[in-house]
Structure 1
Amino acid sequence: MPASFSPAAAWPVLMLVCSNVFMTFAWYGHLKFRGAPLVIVILTSWGIAFFEYCLAVPANRIGVAVYSTAQLKTIQEVITLTVFTGFSVFWLKESLTFNHLIGFALIAAGAAFIFRA
């Protein structure tokens, strides 16, 4: 993260959060509707992913002025785990176990090294 956090540094993160919500639904949302025909699921997922790209591409373009590409990717991965955790619990009604939390925490700890000076 930049030494002095500014609103310019927040926009890419906010856009990545929003894009990740779209992508999580594109990749996993259909699992709640397993009876839907695969071709419909694929086309719907592509339609949802379009909006993800409309946010992720500009987020990375804007973000590279504030973060390194490694930092942007790391931010995106941590966001992915956070969004997916909430999605799996609230949308798919899956349990979050202690092992999941430990695993995610270890990934987040590894991600922290990317931001060390």
Structure 2
Amino acid sequence: MPTLFLLVTSNVFMTTAWYWHLKGGMDKPLPLVIAISWGIALFEYCLAVPANRIGYAAGWSAGQLKVTQEAIALIVFGVFMVAVLKEPLHWRHAAAFACLMGAVAFMFSGK
């Protein structure tokens, strides 16, 4: 589905925009980091806005779109955290993910 593809791709850009500087960019001046992050985030908006419009036109509610986006954000961040920042996963990450997946299930139940 185009909505899911666009949401995943937009979250890759947003996660990168928010967290890229934590690995090797801490010595850069904050205004430069903000400018670079805004440039990266532009691509996120170019994907997230159409994702939401397409999903809404296909019958998803705004709540369903938002909760799905948050679940995707957690998955993307988890991968980024391990692959780029080299931080380990713990049981609490799995528990948080399970809670968020429960929220997604509640939002789509009865539809």
Match of 1:62 among 44, 47, 54: 54
Match of 2:95 in 1: 102
Match of 1:51 in 2: 43
Higher mean alpha-carbon deviation, 101-110 vs 47-56, is at 101-110
Compute the RMSD of aligned alpha carbons: 0.8
> How many residue pairs end up in the alignment?
108
SS at structure 2 position matched to 1:35: coil
Q: TM-score scaled by structure 1?
A: 0.89
Q: Unmatched 5+ residue regions in structure 1?
A: 1-9
Q: Unmatched 5+ residue regions in structure 2?
A: none
Q: TM-score scaled by structure 2?
A: 0.93
Match of 1:23 in 2: 14
Q: Which amino acid aligns with 1:81?
A: L
CA shift, 1:106, in A, is 1.5
Structure 1 stretches of 4+ with a deviation exceeding 3 A read none
Percent of pairs with identical residues = 55
Deviations 1:65-88 (A, max 9, x none): 121111111110110000000000
Q: Which amino acid aligns with 2:21?
A: H
